[in-house]
């Protein structure tokens, strides 16, 4: 990494280009999305419906499918998001109904986990949008925590990546469960015609090194890059499930 790294607090997240990001990544169901949904669905199928009183999406962004998936096991899902642009999008989706482009995602989620309610609107009805920095969450608040394409895309500094992952794990109670997805070897990248955003290249070994001291029952896998997505310079995705150790 060259020069002085960009840290999370250096970035104007309120100007996150939501519509460009959605157009490039989520207006259709890509094979990599299907692979992440399959991985996360297996995680949620191991939980009894409604067994999690509170779950959290740690840095929700405008990606709705992690919120859909969590609804199978959760009585409430807090979508924690720091960006004003992300908050505005999430609130519109909940208040006015989700964009039709999310329906194929939900169909796959429900196919893989029939514990989900019949409709997308029912699944999203348990979601509460919270405008906050995920790092400020009170430790031990949640039964389940999910994080998708966040920690490696908010900083260029590996120490800050490690710290953010630590906050993620600590957001669940002892014995609570975590599920996550990371872009593999993600460099600094662009979305849309001009905007530049930080990236912290990680891989399965590095993710394992970060999470092994913090968790038990750690499982780290990966999938290859998806040629149907824009070339951000990544080499695939790293997927994780784990449990926070009992106190």
Sequence-distant (6+) residues with CB within 8 A of 240 are: 178, 179, 180, 181, 182, 207, 211, 218, 219, 220, 221
pLDDT at 129 over 90: yes
Q: Which of 10, 18, 2, 17 is nearest to 155 (CA)?
A: 10
pLDDT at 1 over 50: no
Reduced to 3 states (helix: H, G, I; strand: E, B; else coil), residue 189 is strand
> What interhelical angle do 18-25 and 84-96 show, nearest 10?
70
Written as six digits, the tokens of 214 are 């913090």
Taking CA atoms, 131 is separated from 75, 113, 165, 228, in Å, by 20, 29, 19, 32
Q: What is the pLDDT averaged over residues 32-48?
A: 97
pLDDT the model gives residue 193: 67
Kindly give the residue spans of alpha helices, DSSP state H, lying in 98-157.
Answer: 103-112, 120-124
Q: What is the pLDDT averaged over residues 192-221?
A: 92
Q: Which of 44, 28, 25, 19 is nearest to 178 (CA)?
A: 44
Q: What percent of the chain has pLDDT over 70?
A: 98
pLDDT at 3 over 80: no
Half-sphere exposure for 151 (CA within 13 Å, toward CB): 30
> What's the whole-model pTM score?
0.95
Q: What is the pLDDT averaged over residues 166-172?
A: 98
> What interhelical angle do 31-45 and 103-112 show, nearest 10?
40
Reduced to 3 states (helix: H, G, I; strand: E, B; else coil), residue 35 is helix
Q: How confident is the model at residue 247 (pLDDT cuts 50, 70, 90)?
A: confident
pLDDT the model gives residue 238: 98
Q: What is the pLDDT averaged over residues 160-167?
A: 98
pLDDT the model gives residue 16: 87
The secondary structure of residue 155, as a DSSP letter, is -
For 65-98, write each residue's pLDDT tens digit: 999 999 999 999 999 999 999 999 999 999 999 9
pLDDT at 126 over 50: yes
CA Rg, the chain, in Å?
17
Task: Give the DSSP H or E segment for 238.
Answer: strand 236-243
Written as six digits, the tokens of 122 are 């029912």
For 47-70, write each residue's pLDDT tens digit: 999 999 999 999 999 999 999 999
Written as six digits, the tokens of 103 are 């329906």
């Amino acid at each position: 990494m060259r020069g002085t790294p960009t840290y999370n607090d250096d970035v104007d997240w309120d100007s996150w280009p939501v519509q460009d990001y959605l157009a490039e990544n989520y207006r259709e169901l890509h094979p990599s999305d299907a692979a992440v949904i399959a991985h996360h669905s297996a995680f949620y199928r191991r939980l009894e419906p409604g067994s999690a009183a509170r779950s959290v999406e740690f840095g929700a962004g405008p990606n709705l499918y992690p919120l859909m998936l969590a609804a199978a096991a959760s009585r409430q899902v807090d979508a924690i998001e720091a960006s004003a642009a992300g908050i505005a999008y999430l609130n519109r989706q909940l208040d006015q109904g989700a964009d039709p482009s999310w329906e194929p995602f939900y169909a796959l989620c429900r196919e893989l986990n029939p514990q989900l309610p019949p409709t997308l609107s029912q699944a999203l009805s348990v979601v509460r949008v919270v405008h906050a920095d995920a790092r400020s969450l009170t430790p031990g608040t949640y039964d389940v925590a999910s994080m998708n394409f966040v920690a490696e895309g908010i900083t260029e500094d590996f120490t800050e990546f490690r710290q953010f992952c630590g906050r993620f794990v600590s957001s669940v109670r002892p014995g609570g469960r975590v599920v996550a997805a990371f872009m593999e070897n993600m460099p600094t990248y662009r979305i849309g015609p001009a905007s530049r955003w930080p990236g912290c290249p990680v891989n399965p070994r590095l993710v394992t090194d970060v999470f092994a001291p913090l968790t038990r029952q750690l499982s780290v896998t990966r999938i290859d890059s998806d040629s149907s997505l824009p070339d951000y310079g990544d080499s695939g995705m790293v997927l994780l499930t784990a449990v926070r150790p009992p106190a």
